[in-house]
Structure 1
Amino acid sequence: MGLPTTIEELNHIKEECEKMVSKRASASALAAAVPILGTDVAADVALMRELLPAINRKFGLSKEQIEELDPEVKRVLLVFITSVGSELVGKLITKQVVIQMLKKISTKIAVKQAVKVVPILGQAASAGISFAAMKYLGKAHINDCYEIAKQYIENEQTKPVH
């Protein structure tokens, strides 16, 4: 699967990715409901290491897919990636990259860990925070990929035909 070529195809990919994010966010919430400190963060890292590359691949924007492109197309994409400011598009998603992303929402994670010590309500709050954090990170990445692919499609449509 390569880069999308139409806005219709792009919208379909976005919908598929949003469903993936919802499933992973639900899994994250389940992991957060387990009253053992630290298990949810480990689960979140594992889920994000799977989810982010899957989103990149769906949009045709994984590191491997970009490397296989024509040099001119690759150059144009890298300009779009830079303009969007994404740290995750076209990159290898390592544990360290995910941990950095999670640090950006570390206040929520700290609260989630703290509320775990309160039985039942704490677990429910922790699960809710985990779901929201995973959903936020996933949707933000989808939006970045969408914007980059959209710019690419629009750029291709305005090219003069030889």
Structure 2
Amino acid sequence: MIETRQQLDEAREACRKMVTKRAALSAGSSVIPLPGLDIGTDVSILLALLPAINERFGLSEQQLAQLHPNRKKYNFIAITGVGSRLIGKTLTREAVTHALKRVGVRVATKSVARYIPFLGQALAAGLSFSAMKMLWNSHIDNCYRVVSEVLSQTTTADTTAPRQPPMMS
């Protein structure tokens, strides 16, 4: 569980490094001119990477289920405020389809461009890298905002809660 801003910033940086590596893998699969390989690779990376990002931020479905009820409430309010379908839930086909539609034009363009000799493959790789990096970095930003909001809410709640006087024995 992330408890400080420093831990939150470290989680974001670790996830961004993970995203860059996976986006490069997506770009590499775009160069190979086999029908469906690039989309299949993108979906499989998406299915593995999004839960890993959620978990790194303490926002997986299992992690949220184990939270104290007050902390869980803050998390769900923040998740709803961000409007993400991918945080704190098991990934479904609908959620993955929705995520890919967000970068649909780039994915469609890369699928067509890779059949143009030489330049097309480079263009497809660049489009794949940028589309996947944009999608995943957007998810990281959403997770960051959720946890940041929860940290500020729990810090405020801790400082405004009435203090009990010490018990005298």
Give the TM-score normalised by the residue count of structure 1: 0.94
**Gapped regions of structure 1 (runs ≥ 5):** none
Contact 1:49-1:93 within 8 A present in 2 as well = yes
Residue by residue, what CA displacement relative to the aligned partner does 1:53-107 show, whole Å, maximum 9, x if unpaired? 0000000000111011122211111110011111111011234422221122211
Which residue number in structure 2 is paired with residue 100 of structure 1? 98
Root-mean-square deviation over aligned CA pairs: 1.1
Tell me how far apart the structure 2 counterparts of residues 98 and 31 of structure 1 sit (CA, whole Å): 19
User: What is the CA distance between 1:158 and its match in structure 2?
Assistant: 1.1
Structure 2 distance, partners of 1:62, 1:46, is: 18
SS of structure 1 residue aligned to 2:115: coil
Structure 2's unaligned 5+ residue stretches are 164-169
User: SS in structure 2 opposite 1:93?
Assistant: coil
Asked whether the equivalents of residues 30 and 124 of structure 2 are also in contact (C-alpha less than 8 Å), the reply is: yes
Residue of structure 2 in register with 1:55 after alignment: 53
Give the structure with higher Rg (CA).
Answer: 2
Q: Which segment is superposed worse, 106-115 or 5-14?
A: 106-115
| Selected match of 1:116 from 114, 117, 131 | 114
Hey, what does 1:8 align to over in structure 2? 6
Q: Percent identity?
A: 39
Tell me, in whole angstroms, the C-alpha distance in 1 between the residues paired with 2:69 and 2:6.
26
1:83 lines up with 2:91 in the alignment: no
Query: Where does 1:65-84 land on structure 2 (aligned, <5 Å)?
Result: 65-84=63-82
